[in-house]
Amino acid sequence: MSNIKCFGEVQIETKPCDIVLSRKKTKQAQIMVPTVQTRSIENIKLKENKTITTKGKNIYECCIIPDGRMAFTYYYAHAVRVFSDTGLKDFEVKMPCAVYDILYISKDDTLAVTSGGSSHHCITIIDVQRKQITKTISINSHIYGIALRENKLIYSGQFKGILMIDLSDESINPIVRDKMPPFCYIATFRNQIYHTNTETHAVTCYDQQGKPKMDIQK
């Protein structure tokens, strides 16, 4: 091995090549975010769509059933009447007391009705398919406006505040402990609760814990 002076040879060969440099941002897809223009409530215009002629007086509330039927509360007649979308009477349920507010519960196809200023303080549940009362839940106050959140009813109790009743076990928990006047209504939107006040002529927005967020004055 000591006599070997050369073992192969090394050659270096150079070739031209193209290197393409690209900016990362040029490959990113452009996300177009549409601008949503806010509308003032002052610019909202209501248009009459349909008129339903019903017999009776003192119709306090109504709600729309998903199939298009409409349910109305006849306060002094102690009745809930359901009409088709063309105004034909479908059925009537005689109630044990006056009836004030009403809403539809899709989970079990029922109507929940409040007793207002009646001496019977209760929420009455009506089965829409069977067209009859299936349950009466006793409440410890006059009960007016009512709203639904999941399987819970949120209602306005006179002098008791805003309360929530779980329909699964009928347990009642207070949300707002302020003494509320009669004839108040309730609505929910997302995580807010909106409550009307017949004495202050205002609508108060509360969060889920019952903390007031804002007042809307007349």
pLDDT per residue over 155-186, tens digit each?
999 999 999 999 999 999 999 999 999 999 99
pLDDT of residue 121: 96
Looking only at Cα atoms, what is the longest distance across the chain? 125
- Which whole number is the average pLDDT over 82-106? 96
More confident residue, 10 or 159: 159
Residue 78 CB contacts under 8 Å (≥ 6 apart), including other chains? 94, 95, 96, 97, 98, 99
**Is the pLDDT assigned to residue 6 strictly greater than 70?**
no
Nearest to 115 by CA among 126, 105, 104, 102: 102
Q: List pLDDT tens digits, range 54-65.
A: 888 999 999 999
Residue 161 near residue 168, CB atoms below 8 Å: no
- Report the candidate in 175, 147, 178 with the shortest Cα–Cα distance to residue 163: 175
Give the pLDDT band of residue 3 (cuts 50, 70, 90).
low
* pTM, entire model: 0.78
Q: What is the pLDDT of residue 12?
A: 59
Q: What is the pLDDT of residue 93?
A: 98
**Mean pLDDT of the chain, nearest integer:** 88
32 touches 49 (CB < 8 A): no
